[in-house]
Structure 1
């Protein structure tokens, strides 16, 4: 055991990047996004992981998680994940602590793959060569011209054949406006591309069913969080009455959360976020849980953190190519992936681990701690 490479040091840093325009969904608005970066030192190798979370997640890494994993074998990532879960028990795992665990777990997997000289997808074992993506943005703050430009960019210029916009504006109080924006989105992308919507829990259950009837006319096939995923009975009720696939899961921080969602029959496709649910270790377990229920999984946001794990599961539907996170990952990291023909091919260039390298010079203006 003493000959195995050990985790020698765990560090965190926080970066806040302004949006390129005001952004909002059905229930929230923002003008910046914060990324908490974790680096794990193992001999001559440094692994990199991150989460999109408040700066408090970095404090959790420094105070609770670094002591829990330092000295452990860098090859035994599940053991380290379990040690972190126990370390935050009294602090409360769901939320910021789970995001911190996720960032360290991703960094540990990156470090292990680098120690072995392998792209992470080769370490995990590929179930597919390509990871389909869908363009995601269409914020409720966009005017018609900006929405049109973004959607056409994905479909016509980047060849992404599926896109998503936000609806449920102002907690569902502008149904007619929501449906008008969906109609404009369909006109922008044409009949061949898939059209998705995300209400971020902004509607009530019966309201969501009414809206869904209008969505059917535009060929919408993905209705994300028509009601809050906190209310699984309501989500399941909507699912039973609409044509589009009902999806949720991005706010899952523990494996039992996903079990409860599946047991309720609440979704047609399960979403999980590798930067929230406990990292790659737990994301793979969520995918297996979905598979055991005959369902597919979709990766939520953070495409550079998801791509290798997404390629390793047989029941992947797709990965979210989220506008904000694509901007940030391309800004902060060299090696951030780009889709071709609507899909990523992780590990294509043979770079070890996730294939990401922090560009300290580009990142410096955005570092806040």
Structure 2
């Protein structure tokens, strides 16, 4: 008989940041991880998203009944059942994050039942995937910026990203501080939609003079015309990027049809899990646009080794802290790459329940 999913457990954990953080448009002092655990035939698959406790409630009330009793080998059936069942709730936002966490758990469970790593199940094209260090928050002092970004370079990470967009007058100064700190390493900036179109074009030229090669969300990622306008400024060697707020395949298709970005970003904790990320990869491949994953490095590591068009993963400061703290099997970047163990099944992760208990939300 085909195996059946016997149990679905949902939990939420809120972990404080190591200090208050901000970017171009948001401030925060904690991050919430929503965890899904699916059990079948003696194996447990885990999936997660970075969201809010309401996401856990949605999974419990709307998605649990769809996967309990389902065949863990038929992931597509469960995925489409979740999409159809939440139609009237609206797809973007926590609905897609909820689907993402469950979908990742389904893939992890399937791999564990088959006793194979996710990268091997999907088909490897590389054994390790490059990362870039990500942080450089606008709340940091100049000294904190220098310390964090130069620290990544000393660890062998040859590309780093910092936040901009909160203070347009001071941003060139902050970017120069990081340039001086990291030497000839690659330098990326992320405005999180903090600039107007004309501010972005003007600053793009200043950033280019400082060797910036990646300009992420110079304006809102919903302003596709604005992204295209900034891209069409044709500032040499600076790529315009966005896509982290894509929750479904049609979003990525529209972004690429309008020529809004040079590199597409996608986040498996938001865009429908492993299933949704594979769809985003197929769309980017069809448009001959490279792909980069957003945050959650442990979740994207196997995908990065299995998708030919992926350029790199985001080694995001907050999520590295959380995944290192709460997951056994966390793989730190080494020589600028993450390399999954093929001896561990699925994502290669086991949740440290005892260590996480202090962060549990009711």
Give the TM-score normalised by the residue count of structure 2: 0.98
Structure 2: distance between partners of 1:159 and 1:282: 31
Structure 2 equivalent of residue 187 of structure 1: 180
After superposition, the CA RMSD in angstroms is 0.8
Secondary structure of 1:81 counterpart? helix
Aligned to 2:163: 166
TM-score, structure 1 as length reference: 0.96
Report how far residue 176 of structure 1 moved: 2.5
Alpha-carbon shift at residue 368 of structure 1 (Å): 1.0
Deviation at 1:239, TM superposition (A): 0.7
Shift of 1:347: 2.7
> 1:49 touches 1:105 (CA, 8 Å); kept in 2?
yes
1:71 positional shift: 1.5
CA contact 1:130–1:343 (8 Å) conserved in 2: yes
Corresponding residue number in structure 1 for 2:205:
213
The partner residue of 2:349 within 347, 356, 361 is 356
Structure 2 residues without counterparts, runs of 5 or longer: none
Aligned to 2:341, the other structure's residue is in SS state: coil
2:216 to 224, 246, 263: 224
| 1:4 aligned partner | 2
1:128 maps to what in 2?
A: 126
Q: After the TM superposition, list the runs of 4 or more consecutive aligned residues in structure 1 that deviate by more than 2 angstroms.
A: none
Find the residue that maps to 1:135 and give its secondary structure. Answer: strand
Structure 1 unaligned runs (5+)?
Answer: none
Candidates 150, 156, 162, aligned match of 1:152: 150
Give distance in 1, aligned partners of 2:71 and 2:306: 23
Deviation, 1:262, is 0.5
Query: Do structure 1's residue 237 and structure 2's residue 229 form an aligned pair?
Result: yes
Distance 2:211 2:118 in 1: 37
SS of 1:31's partner is: strand
2:335 aligns with one of 341, 360, 363: 341
Deviation at 1:152, TM superposition (A): 1.2
Secondary structure of residue in 2 paired with 1:109: helix
Which residue of 2 is the match for residue 267 of structure 1? 261
Q: For 2:42 and 2:244, locate their aligned partners in 1 and report how far apart those are by CA, in whole Å.
A: 35
Q: How many residues align?
A: 360
CA drift of 1:40 comes to 0.6
**Distance apart, 1:295 and its partner CA:** 0.8
- Distance in 2 (CA, whole Å) between partners of 1:51 and 1:252 is 14
Give the superposition deviation at 1:13: 0.3
Kindly provide the CA deviation profile for residues 157-216 of structure 1, in whole angstroms up to 9, marking residues without a partner as x.
x100000000001xxxx223101000000001002x100000000001111000001001
SS in structure 1 opposite 2:105? helix
Q: Aligned partners of 1:79 and 1:149: how far apart in 2? A: 48
Give the aligned partner of residue 12 of structure 2: 14
Report the Cα distance in structure 2 between the residues aligned to 1:164 and 1:283, rounded to whole angstroms: 22
1:272-297 deviation per Cα after TM superposition (whole angstroms, max 9, x unaligned): 00000000001011001101111111
